[in-house]
Amino acid sequence: MTALAKRLHHTAYLTKDQEATRAFYEDILGFPLMATWSETDELFGAERVYCHTFFGLQDGSALAFFQFANKEDQDLFDPDLTPSPFRHIALMVDADGQAEMERRLTEANWKPEGTYVLEHGYCRSLYTEDPNGMLLEFTLDVPEAAEISADRSKDAHATLERWLAGDHSSNNTYR
């Protein structure tokens, strides 16, 4: 089966501070600010005033952030959720890109207690938090990633069925 979507266009999040978000993504990580939209729209039954920023990635996709001018709107749309490592942005990088991200974060002294690396076996991930408390993952695939992906594709449905039936044994033999 072929996916109909060609690539990610953007993924959007709320921010309480557009400038802190801009400084992190553009000045520290080097993702250029590609567009800023200052808008007023009828949204969900009321007129809402907001700023929408886009930070570009190499493939043309973007990370986008909203901030509302009215505190009541910001509070309404900003879910008060406990940060979770299972709610994050994962961006693919090559070895040089991952080393450069690590260098930039270290040079900026960006949350050194919260920046760490995990070896997943199929990839190596560098993690950090953005100014909004959202976890970012910079993922470097192992050289055998295509072979590993083909293996997991062959048994994806069977593994899901097995897991849903209660057999939770690991199939990650790559660590």
Could you tell me if 22 and 46 lie in one domain? yes
Assess contact for 130 and 136: CB atoms under 8 A.
yes
Does the structure show a pLDDT above 80 at 125?
Answer: yes
H helices, E strands: number in the chain:
4, 8
Provide the strand spans (E) within 18-57: 33-43, 46-56
Q: Rounded to 5 degrees, what angle do the CA atoms 131, 132, 135 make? A: 90
Residue 175 lies in a domain: no
Q: What is the pLDDT of residues 135-167, one digit of tens each?
A: 999 999 999 999 999 889 899 889 999 988 999
Q: Could you tell me if residue 45 is left (phi over 0), alpha (psi between -120 and 50 degrees) or otherwise beta?
A: left
- Which residue, of 22, 49, 79, is where some domain finishes? 79
Does the structure show a pLDDT above 70 at 88?
Answer: yes
Q: Which residue from 58, 61, 80 is spatially nearest to 14, judged by alpha carbons?
A: 80
Residue 58 lies in a domain: yes
Residue 60 lies in a domain: yes
Which positions ≥6 away from 105 have C-beta within 8 Å? 28, 111, 115, 128
Could you tell me if 12 and 39 lie in one domain? yes
- Which residue, of 79, 95, 115, is where some domain finishes? 79
pLDDT band at 20 (very low <50, low <70, confident <90, very high): very high
H-helix or E-strand spanning residue 163: helix 145-164
- Token pair, residue 164, equals 């849903």
Q: What is the pLDDT of residues 109-122, one digit of tens each?
A: 999 998 999 999 99
How many domains is the chain built from?
2
Return the CATH number at 48.
3.10.180.10
What does the DSSP 8-state code read for residue 64? Answer: E
Could you tell me if 118 and 139 lie in one domain? yes
Q: What is the pTM of this model?
A: 0.85
Where in the sequence is the domain holding 10, given as residue range(s)? 1-79
